[in-house]
Amino acid sequence: MTKETGKKLVASNRKARHDYHVEDTYEAGLVLMGTEVKALRMGRASLVDGWAGLDRDGELWLEGVHIPEYLNGTWTNHTPRRRRKLLLHRREIDKIAHATRESGRTVVPLSLYFSDGRAKVEIAVVTGKKAYDKRHALREKQDRRDADRAIAARRRGEV
């Protein structure tokens, strides 16, 4: 058996970067069942409705993330939207707890991947964007794309 190295992306939450201002990002481990790992290795997961929250014991939990049931699983299969414990250092959890006490901040997953054979999730402390912020970001993206096209056309000698 060979040791897996590098990063293998399973799922990313592109909508999160559109809907929120990302302030801090953290890499966290996940406590998973065997069938969840197998489903993730098949590349099946959705982070769209996911969020993370603290419980009374000061632990961080990932909720709303959909990992579908493993197709070849039996009675040992997992529930698709169950709570999953996040593995972080105490100092990082305290920092996240302090940041989310402020109004309008929450924790969302940005991506789910395997790093050196272990399932990891990139989480971020975020604040919500207003509608005009989203429009402004889309406009900037479109302007950048138009400028890149114009530069490429100029290099090819079309203009």
**Is the CB of residue 50 less than 8 Å from the CB of residue 108?**
yes
What tokens does 136 get? 């402004």
Q: Which residues contact 52 (CB under 8 A, 6 or more apart)?
A: 60, 61, 62, 63, 86, 107, 108, 109, 123
**Nearest-CA neighbor of 51 among 77, 13, 5?**
13
DSSP 64-84: S-B-PPPTT--TTPPPTT--E
Residue-range domain boundaries for the chain: 7-128, 130-159
What tokens does 119 get? 């399932």
Q: What is the pLDDT of residues 23-38, one digit of tens each?
A: 889 999 998 888 888 8
Report pTM: 0.75
**Is the CB of residue 21 less than 8 Å from the CB of residue 126?**
yes
Q: What is the pLDDT of residues 70-128, one digit of tens each?
A: 777 667 776 777 888 999 999 999 999 998 888 888 899 999 998 888 889 999 999 88
Pick the CATH number of 7-128 from 1.25.40.10, 2.60.40.10, 2.40.280.10, 2.60.40.180: 2.40.280.10
